[in-house]
Structure 1
Amino acid sequence: MTQVSLARRERGQERLQLPEEVGECYSERLALESDLILIRLRYRPCCDLREESVDPHGRPMLAITLGFEGRSGYQGGDGAELAFRAGFTTIAAFRSNRGERHYRAGETVSQLRLLVGEVTLTKYVGRERAKALLGNGGVRQLAFRKNTSLSQGHAAALSGHLGQPDPGLLDMHIHALSLLAEQLRLIGPSTPPPSRLGCRDIEMLERARDLMAERMNQPLTIPFLCAEVGLNEFKLKEGFRRHFNTTPHRMLHEMRMRKAHALLESGCQVAQVAYRVGYRHPSNFSTAFSRFFGRAPKAVFAGRRG
């Protein structure tokens, strides 16, 4: 385990670098506000590395981490585990906490992390939701999902500014808040209770949800989803209940109905929409749509034409 780092500060930016014998391992940090902090990390250790992590903030923080390259892990002193992976966004809430960050020998890890404190969160989402997001202590994983193209764009802009002589603080502030806003929308209006699901389980559940969105025109079944993502039927259903607070059937039905509404508004005819969202018989689709929205699909299509 290594704890020694070298620091260089310039124009409000701070660079922390591990000794050269450990490998190319450094992070750059910039506080846009006291409660809005940006960190860019790039590690390529020569050997497996366990780095002690001590929260220096002493207050509740929300951490949004976008993985660009490689993978790493975090294990808290309370046993909590977090996974960071290229192409995925990890959102976690924590208070003062000790733990370890784990990196593999010879693997390049590149990440961008946005830390948001309670004051900033309260300013934008209100005190009640800020407290719900941050929780009462320890480390809680709130989300682990694929990076969106919008998030990647904001993260790339922020990463490009960091380390520059003139980082362009106004632009960075705009991108940071835009990234925060998108991730809070994806989490939803309320935060789910702490989940005992492992990172791998969550990844497979997210994949099942993605499959529903990608293949809703097909006759998806529980056995098919289980086979595709590698979960048995009990774990899939229980995982949906815990992680999404719904059932696979209900989520697929809602996806189909909302997709159908958007297609009707774009000018697609009812029969075309029915087939595109997985209904073989337009009459069955019309019945399901009317029950879900309280109006017939022809009314949405006619309204669009008018």
Structure 2
Amino acid sequence: MLIHMQTDSLCMRSDAPQPPEKPLQGSQCCVLDDGLSVVLTRYRASQAWVEESHTPHTGAGVIMTFGLQGHSDYRERWGPRIDFRHGHTTVTAFHQSQGERHIPEGEAVLQLRLVASTGWLARYLGERYQSALPASAGSRSLAFQPTSAGSRAHLQALQASIQTGGSRIQTHIHALSLLGEQLEALLPKPRHTQHIATADAERIVQAHEILLNELDRPLTLAYLGARVGLGEQKLKQGFRRMFGTTPQHFLHQQRMRHAHTLLENGQQVAQAAYATGYRHPSNFSLAFTRFFGYAPKAIKQRNSL
């Protein structure tokens, strides 16, 4: 098994007046296949740390980050913040991404990443992977959710295999099992249906952008269809074909992720509720708890520790 220590090419900076001590860090990388690798990364910062980062991976692809300890975040220069947290799985599509990695003061961070290039995705998924990738340079978050029990078992085995130089075939099995679970939930199911006309596809992409950029508005399927000039049924079916989910489910997922970020940045529950389209904070709290498995107030309590 090919395992080597690697560090990203990064330009360091700090918001403190004096240059702080560089955080302790190290990575173990195992190349599983042409275009597929797994990386185990550790950080420990004695004080809050910010580092400018250019994605070290060439081309485009998908990164699955499994939080094993602590938390950090990545703030895309042209996009939203992407969170990495203990017990959560973050799936991100990338293409020549540039931004900043933030490590909280005193935080011990341990993360396992699976990196799949477009070439690898194309070999295993055909054209299904294309809907997940950003149309231009940057990163796009595809999922942020608690890590499932099945994934946790594969993660433990994969981490042990990387750290001890275990069997290559077992490393492959656990890595592919993790990839399979996440990708099958995110990407469109293969269907033998009529091709989407170019004009309709453009309208569906426009609807997708509206959902991403107007999370605070009461976006119904009827309103969205009228806005882009498509019937509700055609919009719903086309959206599922192109993005592997319904507009309503996609909107809910994006709202919850955005609300989580707002709460972590210190906003009150009511503020996060209004910013994500909820007019009643109690309804927001219920939806948030069902989605993440813990209440919005738990974030404020955790940040105050």
Same fold, judged at TM 0.5 (above): yes
* Counterpart residue number, 2:256: 202
Query: Aligned partner of 1:182: which letter?
Result: E
Unaligned runs of 5+ in 2: 9-19, 190-203, 217-252, 261-268, 280-286, 288-305
TM-score (norm 2): 0.59
Which residue of 2 is the match for residue 13 of structure 1? 3
Report the counterpart of residue 57 of structure 1 in structure 2.
57
For 1:229 and 1:68, the matched residues in 2 are separated by 30
Which digits, 9 at most, give the CA deviation of each residue in 1:157-201, with x for residues without a partner?
11111132x332111111111111100122252699463459994
Partner SS state of residue 163, structure 2: coil
Match of 1:162, SS state, is helix
Task: State the 4+ residue runs in structure 1 displaced beyond 3 angstroms.
Answer: 190-194, 196-201, 203-206, 227-230
Contact 1:205 1:236 (8 Å CA) reproduced: no
Which structure's CA Rg is the greater one?
A: 1
Secondary structure of 1:92 counterpart:
strand
Rate the CA distance shift 1:113–1:233 in 2: closer, same or farther, 3 A.
Answer: closer
RMSD between aligned residues: 3.4
Instruction: Quote the offset at 1:205 in angstroms.
Output: 7.7
Distance in 2 (CA, whole Å) between partners of 1:149 and 1:229 is 33
Aligned to 1:40: 40
1:79 CA displacement: 3.5
Note the 1:1-306 alignment, pairs <5 A.
12-16=2-6, 21-126=21-126, 128-137=127-136, 138-164=138-164, 166-189=165-188, 193=208, 195-196=212-213, 201-203=255-257, 231-232=273-274, 235-236=277-278
C-alpha separation between the residues in 1 aligned to 2:41 and 2:30? 12
* Counterpart code for 2:133: L
Which residue identity lines up with residue 37 of structure 1 in the other structure? S
Q: Report the number of matched residues.
A: 206
In structure 1, list runs of 5 or more residues that go unmatched: 1-10, 207-226, 238-247, 249-306
TM-score between the two structures when normalised by the length of structure 1: 0.59
What is the deviation of 1:48?
Answer: 1.2
* Matched-pair contact (CA < 8 Å) for 2:90–2:143: yes
Amino acid at match of 1:143: A
Q: 1:22 to 1:133 in 2, by over 3 A?
A: same
Whole-Å Cα distance in 1 between the matches of residues 169 and 158 of structure 2?
11
For residues 241-298 of structure 1, the C-alpha deviation after alignment (integer angstroms, 9 at most, x for no partner) is xxxxxxx9xxxxxxxxxxxxxxxxxxxxxxxxxxxxxxxxxxxxxxxxxxxxxxxxxx
- SS of the residue 2:59 aligns to: coil
